[in-house]
Amino acid sequence: MLYTSRIFSKFVTRGYQSEKIKEKLIDVLRNSKTGLSGIEISKRLGINRITMTKYLNVFAAEGLVKQKNIGSVNLWFIEEGVTHFNFPDDFFQVQTKYLECLLSGEHKEAYGLLRNSLHSSANPVKILTEVISPAIDSVRDLYEEGKIGKSEKNFLDEIISNSIQIVNLTDVNTNPKKNAIVFSTDHDSVLLAQTASAAFHVGEWKVSQLGDMSSAIDVMFDIDLQKFLNKIWTKKQDLMIIVIFSSTESGSKFFSEAVNSSKTKFGKALYLVLCTKLAKKTKIKADFVCEDIDTMLQWCQTIYESSQS
């Protein structure tokens, strides 16, 4: 279904603006308790019937609408729980509600909340940085304070990981001049790396997410990384940013050194960003060091814009 959604999305974005269609469709179906046929919807929205069918299939795959067979007629309805938000004003409301659903283990409600936000034209990057990222921090803090155990933390982390993928499925046109590799040096940093990777994706970056690379700590990693760069980064004059998330000093040092050794072979278009909390006396070479995703994204975008001037 997800594959079908992507294929249809590429089709329907030609000639129409998907978000405007969503808003009109929600208004039309919300005012109809008995549902509407595809023909009725296309007439009310003033869109070609065949094109409207493509839209309806996409929105059904996204969980916005559902189809029911009533006798010999196929009718469309709004999915239960679909709500319209007004952004950016409602970000705090969504942030609070998402955390409540998460900590209560109400995963379906949490996912629905994010889908509703996307249907309401929320900025996907802000969902990641203002809703999901704070939730990651909250779960970690609860675990470190002994208020939840390992089993519950893993359960909540899985909900967050699935939430990130909902945003990550946003269909975008990737800019081949914006390349990024994102990974974590340990399990504790995986969700932040996933969040950053999704943010790069919706920001039209061509991103390669490598996950937890702690098992790759050996003397051959720099060679392994160089082989990977040669494979995915064919035009070395285009920008490539490697973003490392780490919660340990040892992990930060090892992988930063490996990337820096590769930088001498790939030129000035390759940058290293380290997302971690370093002690003041720690000396690690990187082009940029920060502690939060939002700051990292802003720096990367600035570097890209500078590379194009």
Does the N-terminal peptide bond of residue 124 adopt cis geometry, omega within 30 degrees of 0?
no
Q: What distance in Å separates the CA atoms of residue 287 and residue 265, rounded to the nearest whole number? A: 16
Q: What distance in Å separates the CA atoms of residue 148 and residue 139, rounded to the nearest whole number? A: 8
User: Bridge-partner residues for 273, per DSSP?
Assistant: 243, 288
The letter for the amino acid at 207 is: V
Residue 124 vs residues 11, 139, 207, 218, 284: alpha-carbon distances, Å: 21, 21, 16, 37, 32
Helices 190-202/293-308 angle, 10° precision: 40
pTM of the entire predicted model: 0.79
* 156's tokens: 């909540």
Kindly state the DSSP code that residue 247 receives in the 8-state scheme: S
Helices 18-30/49-61 angle, 10° precision: 90
Q: What distance in Å separates the CA atoms of residue 212 and residue 186, rounded to the nearest whole number? A: 6
* 190's tokens: 């995986």
Q: In what order do the strands lie in the sheet with 270-275?
A: 205-212, 175-184, 239-245, 270-275, 288-290
- pLDDT given at position 1: 40
* 80's tokens: 């239960």
Residue 29 vs residues 37, 77, 84, 245: alpha-carbon distances, Å: 10, 6, 13, 44
Q: What distance in Å separates the CA atoms of residue 52 and residue 38, rounded to the nearest whole number? A: 7
pLDDT digits (tens), the chain, 309 positions = 444 444 344 444 443 467 778 878 888 887 777 889 999 999 999 898 899 998 898 888 777 888 888 877 889 988 776 777 888 889 999 999 999 999 999 999 999 899 889 888 899 999 999 999 999 999 999 999 999 999 999 999 999 999 999 999 888 899 999 999 999 999 999 999 999 999 999 999 999 999 999 999 998 999 999 999 999 998 888 999 999 999 999 999 999 999 999 888 898 899 999 999 877 677 899 999 999 999 999 999 999 999 988
Domains with residue ranges and CATH for the chain: 2-78 (1.10.10.10), 91-168 (1.10.1240.10), 175-308 (3.40.50.280)
* 219's tokens: 């003397």
